[in-house]
Structure 1
Amino acid sequence: MTYQELAEAARGKMGICKACPVCNGRGCLGKIPGPGAKGSGMVATRNYSAWQQVRLLMDTIHPTFSADTSTTLFGRALALPVMVAPLGDVNRHYGPEYDQETYNDVILRAASEAGTIAWTGDGLASSIFEGACERMGELGGCGIPTVKPWSADVVREKLKLALAAHPVAVAMDVDAAGLPFLKGQEPPAGAKSVDELHEIAEVCHGSEVPFIVKGVLTPRAAEKAIDAGADGIVVSNHGGRVLDGVPATEEVLAGIVDAVGGSTTVLVDGGIRSGLDVFRALALGADAVLMCRPFVVCMYGGGAQGVKDYLSQLQGELADAMEMCGAETVKDISRDMVMIAGE
C-alpha cells in the first residue's frame, strides 16, 4: 500500500491525528498531547515546507546503473539511510489502537525486517522505557533506545537497562527538556551540561556502545556534543514540540555539517516525508535521516506491513532520484546535486 492508502486506512483511528494525506503539520497545529507542535505550531509546517524548497538538479548523462541505497551506520548495514524516530507514549499522542508494548514490538520488528533500525522512546511512566529495552534485548538489540534528559540518578538507571539490551547505540534527546508535558513532573528533566553528557558517553563507551545526542540545532551545540564524546548527533527541533519560533532543520543542516567537518555522524529529522526529501537531506550532508509521525500513521493504517510498505516506497523514491541525478551510491549524493530556491 502507498502512504496515501495507509493514511486513508488509519483515518479515524488516531485520536487527534487526522492521518492527513500529506503529513505537513497543518492538521494538528498546537495539539499537545497529540502529534502537533508547540505554540503556533508553525515549526512543524516549516520543517516540511523547507525541504520542498530544495530543488534536485537532474543529470542523466551517465552510464546506466541501478542505484544502491544501502549504507552503514554505527557498524550496522542498512538497506536505506532512513530510520524510525523514537515515540515515547503512543496512547497519549495517537490514541488507543496500540499500547506502548505492542507499538515497540511492531516497529522494532518491522524496521529490522525491512533492513533498518527503529529508535524507541521514553516517557513519564517508567514502564515505557523499561518495556522498550526489554523487547529490544529479546530481538537481539535491533534498535536505539532514547533516554530523556532526566536527573542524573534516573539517567544512570535507564542507561543500565539500555545497555543490557546490547543496542546499536544509545541516544539522549536533550531538547526534550522543553516538552510541555514534562514540565514540573517527576522524575525531573532539564538541560544537560557538556560534563554531564560526557559522563553519559563514558558509560556507553565502557560497554562499547555509541552515544548519540539528539536535538542539535546550531554549530556551537554540535561542537559541544562532540566535546562531550558523542559519536553522532541528530539535527532536530523535536518536530517543533519543544520551542516555537525556531528554524527548520533543513535551514541549519548544511551549516552544522560544515562546522563538524566529518568528525561525527550527522543525522537529521523534521518534516522529511519522501524519498526525494531523503535525497535532499543527504545532499546537504546528512549521513541518514529519522522519521516518526508518518510511520505511526502507517502502523495504524496497516500494522507491521504498513511500516514495511512505507519503507519500500521511500527506498524506491530515493533510488529514482539517485538514478535521475547521477548518484550510483548513497556516498555519491553531493551538494552540487541540489539548489535552494531563491538562492
Structure 2
Amino acid sequence: MDLLTLKAEARKKLAGYCRVCPICNGKSCAGEVPGMGGIGTGSSFAENITALSSVKLNLTAIHDASTPDTATLVFGQYISTPIMAAPMVNSRMNTGGGLTEKELAEAITAGTHQAGSLTWLGDPIDTNYEWFNAMQAAGRGVVIVKPRVNHDHIIEAFVRAEQFGAVAVGIDVDGAGLITMKLRGQAVGPKTKQQIAELAKSTKLPFVVKGIMNVADAVKCAEAGAAGIVISNHGGRVLDYTCGTASVVPGVARELKGRIEIFVDGGVRSGVDALKMLALGADGVLVGRPLIIGAYGGGAAGVRYLFDKYTEELGSGMILTGCNTIKQIDSGILINS
C-alpha cells in the first residue's frame, strides 16, 4: 500500500463529500457542514493548519538520541504512539455513506489498535451503539458522548462503555451547538462546572472533556474532577473565526501540565505535526480527517498504514530534535518558544 493509491481509492468513494486534496487545509471544502469542511468561511479549520505550521523546530544532530521510543501511557494504558484516532461519527451525513457507521467505526478502531494505539469513539445521532460494538471487538477505547441536555442518556452511555471495556469516557462540549444534531432534533447544549462535576462523579472511569479552547475552561474542568481534556474546536466545524488549537496548548500546559492529561486535535497531518503539539505541551494527539481517508481508501489496513507512517515520522523527528522518549519532548526543541 502507498499513499497515492490510498488517496485515489478514497477519492472515488468520497466523491461529492471530500476532494482528498493534496493538502487537507479546508480551503476547498469551506462551509461544507454537513460534509467534511469547516463551518461558515472555513477559517477555524484553516487556522488549525496555520497555527501548527507557524511552529518551528530546532534541528540538532549532536546528541545520543539515535533510537527513540515513541511509546507512552494514556489513562494507564500502554500505547506504542501518542498519536490516536479522534472520535468521528455520522458517516452517512458527512461522508455520503460509502461506509456505514459500523464499517467506519470498525475500520478505524481495528486499524488504530493494529498500530498499537487507542481509538476515541464518538456518539452518533442514531445512538445505535455500533461504536460500542467496534470498541468491544478491539478491546479498548475512549468513549466521547455529545453534550446532550438529557444527562440520563449520557450516563447510560457511560455505563455501556464501562461494560464494553472503555478505558475512559467523556463529553465533547464543543458539540453544544452542532448543526447536525439540531437537524436531527437532538437536544445538546453547554454544561456548567457543576454539571461537569456531576458527570465526572457518575462514572468509575477517568472522565474527559473535549472541546476546550481556553485556559479558564481547562481549569474549570480540572477543578470539577476531569482526568483529562482535549483542546479542540471540533475540527473548525462548530464556530467560525476561532483560533487554531496549537495556539491554545502552551497556556493550558503552563497551568495544568502534570495535573490532568492534556490532549489536542486539529490540523495534525504528519508525525512532525504531532511532535510539535507534544513540544507545545500536549500529552497526546488526536487525528481525524486523515483517518477517514485511510478507512475509505483501504479499510483497517489503510488506517494502520497512516498510523505507521505518522509514528515513523514522529520517530525521525525525535532523532533530529534530540529526544529519546516522549517525556523528553518539550518546548526546548522549538525555535522562539
| Contact 1:118-1:144 at 8 Å conserved across structures | yes
What is the distance in 2 between the residues matched to 1:65 and 1:132?
Answer: 39
What is the distance in 2 between the residues matched to 1:335 and 1:111?
Answer: 28
Post-superposition offset of 1:227: 1.3
Partner of 2:259: 263
What is the distance in 2 between the residues matched to 1:4 and 1:28?
Answer: 20
| Contact 2:67-2:324 at 8 Å conserved across structures | yes
What is the distance in 1 between the residues matched to 2:199 and 2:89?
Answer: 20
Post-superposition offset of 1:12: 2.6
What is the distance in 1 between the residues matched to 2:9 and 2:157?
Answer: 36
Superposition map of 1:1-343 within 5 A: 1-14=1-14, 15-63=16-64, 65-127=66-128, 130-140=129-139, 142-151=140-149, 152-183=151-182, 185-205=184-204, 209-339=205-335
Q: 1:11 to 1:282 in 2, by over 3 A?
A: same
Post-superposition offset of 1:26: 1.4
Deviations 1:215-241 (A, max 9, x none): 001000001111111100000011111
**Letter in structure 2 aligned against 1:11:** R
Post-superposition offset of 1:178: 1.8
What is the distance in 1 between the residues matched to 2:120 and 2:307?
Answer: 15
| Contact 2:141-2:165 at 8 Å conserved across structures | no
**Letter in structure 1 aligned against 2:297:** G
SS of residue in 2 equivalent to 1:224: helix
**Letter in structure 2 aligned against 1:68:** D
Which sits farther off after the overlay, 75-84 or 181-190? 181-190
Post-superposition offset of 1:21: 1.9
What is the distance in 2 between the residues matched to 1:22 and 1:78?
Answer: 28
Q: 1:123 to 1:25 in 2, by over 3 A?
A: same
| Contact 1:43-1:239 at 8 Å conserved across structures | yes
Post-superposition offset of 1:138: 3.8
Deviations 1:243-272 (A, max 9, x none): 111110011110111121421000000001
What is the distance in 1 between the residues matched to 2:335 and 2:55?
Answer: 6
What is the distance in 2 between the residues matched to 1:121 and 1:326?
Answer: 36
Deviations 1:21-59 (A, max 9, x none): 221111211101101111111111110121111111011
Structure 1: gaps spanning 5 or more residues:
none
Alignment root-mean-square deviation, CA = 1.5
| Contact 2:47-2:242 at 8 Å conserved across structures | no
| Contact 1:3-1:298 at 8 Å conserved across structures | no
**Letter in structure 1 aligned against 2:44:** V
Deviations 1:120-167 (A, max 9, x none): 11132121xx11113322432x11111000022222222222222120
What is the distance in 1 between the residues matched to 2:193 and 2:309?
Answer: 39
Which sits farther off after the overlay, 190-199 or 62-71? 62-71
Post-superposition offset of 1:186: 3.2
Deviations 1:294-322 (A, max 9, x none): 00001111111111111111011111110
| Contact 1:266-1:288 at 8 Å conserved across structures | yes
| Contact 2:113-2:138 at 8 Å conserved across structures | no
Post-superposition offset of 1:185: 4.7
What is the distance in 1 between the residues matched to 2:325 and 2:317?
Answer: 11
Moved over 4 A (4+): none
Q: 1:136 to 1:64 in 2, by over 3 A?
A: closer
TM-score, length of structure 1 as denominator length: 0.94
SS of residue in 1 equivalent to 2:171: strand
What is the distance in 1 between the residues matched to 2:235 and 2:26?
Answer: 9
**Letter in structure 2 aligned against 1:225:** C
What is the distance in 2 between the residues matched to 1:62 and 1:134?
Answer: 46
Structure 2: gaps spanning 5 or more residues:
none
What is the distance in 2 between the residues matched to 1:134 and 1:5?
Answer: 30
